[in-house]
Amino acid sequence: SFGSVYKATLSDGTNVAIKVFHLQLERAFKSFDSECEILRNVRHRNLIKIISTCCNIDFKALVLEFMPNGSLEKWLYSHNYFLDILERLNIMIDVGLALEYLHHGHSLAPVVHCDLKPSNILLDEDMVAHVSDFGISKLLGDGDDSVTQTMTMATIGYMAPEYGSEGIVSTKCDVYSYGVLLMETFTRKKPTDEMFIGEMSLKDWVNKSLSGELTQVIDANLVRDEQSFFVKVDCLSSIMHLALDCCMESPDQRIYMTDAAAKLKKIKEKFLDDVSFN
């Protein structure tokens, strides 16, 4: 990581998060500049807000809004925390809308986050998700299909193949990471889990399960309750199909974030209808 995050309270009583950059790391300078450039120019309910910056020769920090419910990672993997299907759907819809905005929805050229993972999804007091950490994000040229190249590596397991092998960055890299994040959120298995070695990946594991073994891979806590069992399995199957559409090997075959967000909203609507009908 290029920085450490501290909780602080402003004089008016507002809690904030202060991200202090480790300036002994050369990448931290670029990381600070990248976050400032992007967060200064974007505004969306599902993106972390920058309140202020502090910058001099030997100290650089961002003052960010504080997220009292912590990260999606905490909610997925810590004991005594649980998210039901609807809560997970709402969080992933929020993330999808944030990415749709970054890729297609503002006056800047498209922004690629480049490091989507559960620890970078933060939750406010109402459990609304906010995408954070723009330290290795890229501002592309104009146009939805613009690409660039980078030497900066993202997190293993969430990286699109073309990013990992050639450093090629496009909005479709985020779509791939979003697909991995969808699978992880509903299976509670990290793409780096020790079971995924050799040829077997999280994506392959989920793909194989769709021929009738889906209940073997989804988070058992989601279907423990017998009520609406088949409705839940149907919903989870649709989510996994969408995740795989996001994770196609070739960037050209992946769907756009706009379509992914719209599809997930439809999956949620159908789920709510089916549950009430049941």
In whole angstroms, what is the distance from residue 271 CA to residue 276 CA?
Answer: 9
Which member of 12, 58, 115, 219 is catalytic?
A: 115
Q: Which of 242, 83, 124, 128 lies closest to 178, judged by CA?
A: 242
Element (DSSP H or E) covering residue 141: none
In whole angstroms, what is the distance from residue 142 CA to residue 110 CA?
Answer: 7
In whole angstroms, what is the distance from residue 264 CA to residue 185 CA?
Answer: 13
Contact assessment for residue 113 and residue 99, using Cβ atoms and an 8 Å cutoff: yes
Q: For residue 252, indicate whether it is catalytic.
A: no
- Residue 58 Cα to chain centre, angstroms: 31
Instruction: Give the Å distances, CA to CA, from 247 to 75, 152, 239, 253, 275.
Output: 24, 21, 12, 9, 29
Positions annotated as catalytic residues are 115
